[in-house]
Amino acid sequence: MAHNPTMKDVAREAGVALRTVSRFVNGETNIKPELADRIAQAISTLGYRRNLAAASIRPGWTSKTLGLIISDLANPYYSALTSAIESYARERGYVVISSSSDEIGAQHDRLVDRLMEKRVDALIVVPPRDPGRDWALVPPPIPPLVFLDRPANFDGADVIIADNTGGARDATSEHISHGARRIAFVGDSLSIFTMRERHAGYLSALSDAGIIPDDDLIVNSAHTSEDAANAVMELLKASKVDAIFAANNRGSVGALLAFKQAGRRVPLIGFDDFEAAQLSTPETSIVRQDVVEMGRKAAEIVFDRLAGNSSPPQTYVLPATLVLRGSELP
Amino acid sequence: MAHNPTMKDVAREAGVALRTVSRFVNGETNIKPELADRIAQAISTLGYRRNLAAASIRPGWTSKTLGLIISDLANPYYSALTSAIESYARERGYVVISSSSDEIGAQHDRLVDRLMEKRVDALIVVPPRDPGRDWALVPPPIPPLVFLDRPANFDGADVIIADNTGGARDATSEHISHGARRIAFVGDSLSIFTMRERHAGYLSALSDAGIIPDDDLIVNSAHTSEDAANAVMELLKASKVDAIFAANNRGSVGALLAFKQAGRRVPLIGFDDFEAAQLSTPETSIVRQDVVEMGRKAAEIVFDRLAGNSSPPQTYVLPATLVLRGSELP
DNA sequence: TTGTAAGCGTTATCAT
DNA sequence: ATGATAACGCTTACAA
């Protein structure tokens, strides 16, 4: 691998001063055409490429890089968020370093440090379930910071979340409107923010209808589709369930698996769309969060902050809308 | 946002020389404990954070960054690849800049330039369908380069692809072994490398069985699941199809949609696993490529090259294995 | 319009 | 063990 030619090399080759090459490279116009030609020539023969890393350390210059920390890129939900952010950033000439915390606080913290050391211009973060270090302990300056999908206990950052509570309430109310009284909640641990919110929405809908929640109908240990399937099988066996609200798409898939295995279904509404939803019979109704919009909004806020907007940080709650496809019916 | 403290600031605060702070920060041991304490103290009170961008411009130092260009992060296939690469890189202290070319050559080229200007240590690239600039025209030095998922016309790079031909041949042969003779190929444009390969495997299996391919059974215009569903509906109506080989998972989903709509199915084998495969009845058989392994292997090669291995570039063909779940049966 | 020289935050050489 | 001081590749006052 040959040596990497520098501006100095170009200047020597073209027989001009370093400064002139810099001007040329930065697209300044006041250069005698003849010199410009010589420089262009030199750049091409030498195969010069400017070193953005070197440029970025000058005061007032930036890396044109966004740092993104999500929980798991292999999860379609987070890769959709990442994709939306990356494409918004790319249009503005920024690149994105995306990394996964795997929900582990220490790993998240290490990534934060790393990205700040790399001097990313801004940080978009999905706070990990396992909390990690308090943001108040991170020494300033902290670049523009946006919490995505979940809030965190720090008031220097904007927050973008979906209306988890409202969506869950709507789904549960829909079940109730069809006469269901014994509605199961099938989800993951309540240590997860979104689960707590959805659980709250579920309870609130029950309460509005004067239904007293039954602990036997609440599953919050379904980490995988298989877990959810097993739980739903139990519920079906006891045959005391009128309808199911699946609080995430693993829950929805689990319910479908259980229906298939049991040869019997009950009304189902899930949270979050999933690929198989339209292949099931009946098609599966869900609460949809606009993932692309969430990512886009996060990027938008970041660039707004980068542009100098220093108004107090805000929390943006994006709508979660009920999409009925048939599975809500008895 | 306060000023960003530098090593110099730390040195002044601690009353030591710049060099000593550098030693401390880089974890060197030969420092008098007392000075080390003063430095640690100063770092903490000042909130100093080393500037990796500045460090990386020194000769022999690198950005510890991998550049990744895929076609579309929103596609689960590519996000799975990205996830595997990122996690392998993270374990080694590297971060990944991932970006999408959207299959557009010019966009791909722009990203290549950008990433090389940022001095990424290596590049992992999914060559875009729409070719873009010839790699031979890119001035050296080119960092270690790996083509992923598809080859490109350049021999300075390692290549990692799946055995698309073999997988397609196996799937088609499986259909034949169950007595099918009129087997449809449902896929996307043959301008896509993987499609050409899978199509070749399909033809080769037919040929081995002495079956003459029928153009009416070959669909290569299914860009979406809906396209595929329509095509399969047509095939079913003509009722001259014994079995379907879906050359990607949009094709598989389309076939399932068509089966549902037509109220009738034929044996089906797809290429690439998909979430709904195990929810269908019967469960859908597919050819599985080990996506995680492909990503892991790409990262592994990159680090091997980074470690100095300069043997001639190789092409690695990873297995694509038939996973039978029932849908291959009549 | 062009060039000289200082400086960005870091690491590395070489004395001490 | 510690400290001046010179790089690294770039941008930018300031001169010419």
> Measured between alpha carbons, how far is A329 from B55 in angstroms, rounded to an integer?
62
List all residues 6 or more positions away from A320 whose beta carbon is below 8 Å from its beta carbon.
A162, A163, A164, A166, A167, A170, A271, A287, A288, A289
Q: Is the CB of B32 under 7 A from strand D?
A: yes
Which of residues 67 through 96 in chain B touch A, CB cutoff 8 A?
72-74, 76, 79-80, 82-84, 86-87, 90, 95-96
For A139-182, write each residue's pLDDT tens digit: 999 999 999 999 999 999 999 999 999 999 999 999 999 999 99
Distance from CA of A187 to the nearest CA of B (A): 19
DSSP B133: S
Q: For chain B, count helices (H), then strands (E).
A: 11, 12
For A185-243, write each residue's pLDDT tens digit: 999 999 999 999 999 999 999 999 999 999 999 999 999 999 999 999 999 998 789 99
For B62-87, write each residue's pLDDT tens digit: 999 999 999 999 998 999 999 999 99
For B282-326, write each residue's pLDDT tens digit: 999 999 999 999 999 999 999 999 999 999 999 999 999 999 999
| A36 CA – C7 C1', rounded, Å | 26
CA distances from B61 to A53, A220, B160 (A): 12, 49, 28
Are residues A140 and B1, on separate chains, in Cβ contact within 8 Å? yes
Put simply, whether B6 touches A (Cβ < 8 Å) is no
Which of B3, B98, B113 has the CB atom closest to A96's CB atom?
Answer: B98
User: To which residue do tokens 């590049």 refer?
Assistant: B123
| A257 CA – C15 C1', rounded, Å | 75
Size of interface A-B (CB pairs under 8 A): 154
Put simply, whether A60 touches B (Cβ < 8 Å) is no
Are residues B49 and A116, on separate chains, in Cβ contact within 8 Å? yes
pLDDT at B77: 92
CA distances from A40 to A16, A27, A45, B268 (A): 12, 12, 9, 58
Are residues A47 and B140, on separate chains, in Cβ contact within 8 Å? yes
Which of A95, A118, A140 has the CB atom closest to B2's CB atom?
Answer: A140
| Chain D positions with any atom < 7 A from a protein CB | 1-13
Q: CA gyration radius for chain A? A: 26
| pLDDT higher than 60, residue A1 | no
Chain B contacts of A54, Cβ < 8 Å?
Answer: 57
